[in-house]
Structure 1
Amino acid sequence: MRSITRGAALLAAVATVLTPAAAQAAPAIDDTGLMGTYGFGRAAVIGAAGLESGAWSAYAVRSGYAGDDLIVSHPPRTSPLASETVVYTAAFNEVADPQAECRKVGAAGVAQRAWVSFRCRTGFVPSYTLLVR
């Protein structure tokens, strides 16, 4: 009887010690939400570039009357990445106002907690690259 009690106490102690570690080791569940509505075809370009860069784990495009909605799934970010990551580049021949699109995507990512901060870097013949942290 004494060995059963001792075994049960040891099992309870091990379970108590290991349970918080197992709970902390579980991966965070991705957030899914609307990143915004962009010109027809642009949501797919932005979604594919974000997936390739690792900014999100999945995306979907839903076509509507005013453009394409971009829906993304990403791990929630509460602290900045160690270094800036390029998400995508909008060029003047692909979109009417690449700077506005870059700022819109960057701000939507902050609001969705896909990244903590962003900046739009200008390039050749006005193109804008979205860099995130």
Structure 2
Amino acid sequence: MSLMFRRPEERQSMRTILKKAALVAASVAVLAPGTAVQAKPARTVTALLGTYDFGRAGVIGQSGKQAGVWRSYSVRSGFAGDDLIVTYQPRTRPARHETQVYTAAFTEVADASAECRKVGADGVARRVWVSFRCRTGFAPSYTLLVR
């Protein structure tokens, strides 16, 4: 490409402008994420969360889905209880806010505290959430809160 300039200063000025423009374009390409490059979609995992008393896995599964902790769940009955299988995105960092997963009331389960601790620990072990706590209510019931 040949550009005709009247004076040598104009030619030198154009070269300087082109060099600076190329440097800026290269910097933007390196430092800014490209629009064509997309982040990898987060992988989902379908795995056994744990085995719980008969009838409890369905309650926990439905509550966790409504809370948005997992995408879907299924229950498989066995000899020792009901297996709860969930589909979720593994977490390595705690969420900004606690999420209430479910409440185990004393009228629904023999030992609400133990069930809450078991579900919470199972979720941490499988990286469904990073941490949990069981909050007691007025009656002997326990609410599972996760991050």
Once the two structures are TM-superposed, the CA of residue 94 in structure 1 deviates from its matched residue by: 0.4
Aligned to 1:72, the other structure's residue is in SS state strand
3-state SS of paired residue (1:104) = helix
Match of 2:41 among 11, 14, 27: 27
CA–CA separation in structure 1 for the residues paired with 2:45 and 2:123: 12
Matched, 1:38 2:88: no
Q: Which runs of 4+ in 1 moved over 3 A?
A: none
Question: Percentage identity across aligned positions?
Answer: 66
Amino acid at match of 2:84: L
TM-score, scaled relative to structure 2:
0.75
Q: Which residue of 1 aligns with 2:68?
A: 54
Q: Which residue of 1 aligns with 2:96?
A: 82
Question: How many Å separate the matches in 1 of 2:41 and 2:56?
Answer: 31
What secondary structure is seen at the aligned counterpart in 1 of 2:65? helix
Q: Which structure is richer in relative contact order (CA contacts within 8 A, separation 6 or more)?
A: 1
State the one-letter code of the partner of 1:97. D
Post-superposition CA distance 1:34-71 (Å, at most 9, x none): 11111111000000000000010010100011110000
Letter in 1 for 2:93: S
Cα RMSD (Å): 1.4
Q: How does 1:53-132 map to 2 (within 5 A)?
A: 53-132=67-146
Measure the CA separation in 2 of the matches of 1:124 and 1:62: 33
Deviation for aligned residue 1:27: 2.0
What is the Cα deviation at residue 18 of structure 1? 5.3
Amino acid at match of 2:64: G
Query: Residue 20 of structure 2 aligns with which residue?
Result: none
Query: Structure 2 regions of 5+ residues with no counterpart?
Result: 1-28
Count of equivalent residues: 115
